[in-house]
Amino acid sequence: MSTTVDIPRHVQEHCNQLGKGASYALKVLCAQLSNDPLLGTPQDNPSSYTVEIDGDTFEDCPALQVHYAYGPPLLEEDRVEIRSVTATQPPVTGVDDRDQVPDTRLEEIVVRQVTGAWRRIETWLRERAPASFASLQAGASREEIDRTESELGVRVPVELRALWGLHRGVHSSVGAAFLQDNGKLMTITEVVDLHRHWGEVYDDHLWDRRWIPVCTLGEHSWSSGLYLDAGTGEMWSWDEFANRQAEFESLTSYLEETADALEVPSLAGPVRPGLVDGALVWGTYGGPV
């Protein structure tokens, strides 16, 4: 009897963005798992397995790491669920991603979207949360952003360049963690430092140079936050246990959803914006906005 293999929609969409070769490789793996669900390497958590896919085996496919769950206690008997697909290296194309020619018309649209969403957030802070508004640093120059891009070793997506052009980060002060889930916009220097730290601490299976940290959850810790996948454009969460999960389809959508939740708090769900001593906070402990 074959095993049922499920792929959640967000995992399939992420895989599609990694290229046609990646989608085909995942399809082949699912067929293999249907016949042999114990194909992968067991992980520390019960029912959790990991399998590596060699990118050279499939055309237009990066090397992949696939995490999946099989059977109890996470799932019922004879069921596999693909939990995540991570590119551990970019597909070999012979062209560095920083040398690719951008679509200037598309970039202009993205810049307008990011700027519009951020201005809505900034206006709200100025009018209602002066402590958080005061934490904003000045915008970075194009030269500074180019220098950062060189230090990261990966093309910085246009939406992040646009955000940094507005503000290079926030000061470490009361009210600085004002983004959703009490996230703190990292400074450019902190981004480079954490990006380098990940490269030193994690091996190739847990680290991709295209992951650019954007904000930490909380003011004084690097243990969790959100990063921008420069390869797919998605915003992912990370934590100190190297868990990762896709959270937003783009940095633009993350900023737009934040602005929407500030202007119409009911859109934020149970974790709504509030105020404490002139600072924006998210959760039940803040006063009404």
In this prediction, residue 96 carries a pLDDT of 47
Verify cis geometry, omega within 30 degrees of 0, for the bond prior to 73: yes
Place of tokens 């194909």: 39
Does this model's pTM top 0.85? My answer is no
Q: Characterize 67-99 residue by residue with b for buried, 16 or more Cβ atoms within 10 angstroms of its Cβ, and e for exposed.
A: bbbbbeeebeeebbbbbbbbbbebbeeeeeeee
Q: Please give the average per-residue pLDDT across 9-19, as a whole number.
A: 79
Q: Beta 79-87 vs 183-185: how paired, if at all?
A: unpaired
Please write the tens of the pLDDT for every residue from 187-196: 999 999 999 9
Q: Per-residue confidence at 64, pLDDT binned at 50, 70, 90? A: confident
Kindly indicate the confidence band of residue 284, based on its pLDDT and cuts at 50, 70 and 90.
Answer: low
Q: So what's the pLDDT on residue 10? A: 78
Six-digit token string for 283: 């959760």
Q: Are 238 and 255 in contact (CB under 8 A)?
A: no
Write out the E strands in 39-149: 41-42, 48-53, 64-70, 79-87
- Predicted local confidence at residue 254, as pLDDT: 94
Cα angle for residues 54, 57, 63 (degrees, 5° grid): 30
Range 4-87 classified under CATH 3.30.2310.20: yes
Half-sphere exposure of 258 (CA within 13 A, CB side): 29
Mean per-residue pLDDT, 49-55:
87
pLDDT at position 94: 39
Tell the CATH topology of 103-282: SMI1/KNR4-like (3.40.1580)
Q: Which residue did the predictor score with more confidence, 102 or 173?
A: 173
Instruction: Quote the tokens at residue 130.
Output: 């002066």
- Residue 265 pLDDT: 86
For residue 288, name the pLDDT band (cuts at 50, 70, 90): low
Residue 80: the pLDDT is 93
- pLDDT tier at 44, thresholds 50, 70, 90: confident
DSSP per-residue string spanning 192-216: HHHHHHHHHHS-TTT--TTEEEEEE
Which is more confidently placed, 91 or 279?
279
Tokens of 167: 């503000």
Residues 117-168 pLDDT 10s: 999 999 999 999 999 999 999 999 999 999 999 899 889 999 999 999 999 9
Predicted pLDDT of residue 174: 87
Contacts of 164 (CB under 8 A, 6+ apart): 139, 140, 144, 145, 148, 156, 188
Which of the four pLDDT bands, split at 50, 70 and 90, describes residue 103?
low
Q: Which residue from 53, 191, 50, 170 is spatially nearest to 121, judged by alpha carbons?
A: 170
Across the chain, mean pLDDT equals 86
How far apart are the C-alpha atoms of 99 and 96, rounded to whole Å? 5
Q: Which helix (H) or strand (E) holds 153?
A: none
Structure tokens that stand for 69 in this block: 């769950």
Domain ranges of the chain: 4-87, 103-282
Residue 62, pLDDT above cutoff 90: no
Are the C-beta atoms of residues 154 and 96 closer than 8 Å to each other? no
Higher pLDDT, 138 or 208: 138
Residue 252 CB-density burial (10 A; 0-12 exposed, 13-18 middle, 19+ buried): buried
- C-alpha dihedral, 155 to 198 to 145 to 90, nearest 10°: 0
Confidence of residue 93 (pLDDT cuts 50, 70, 90): very low
Position 95 scores a pLDDT of 39
Question: Token digits for 268?
Answer: 């934020």
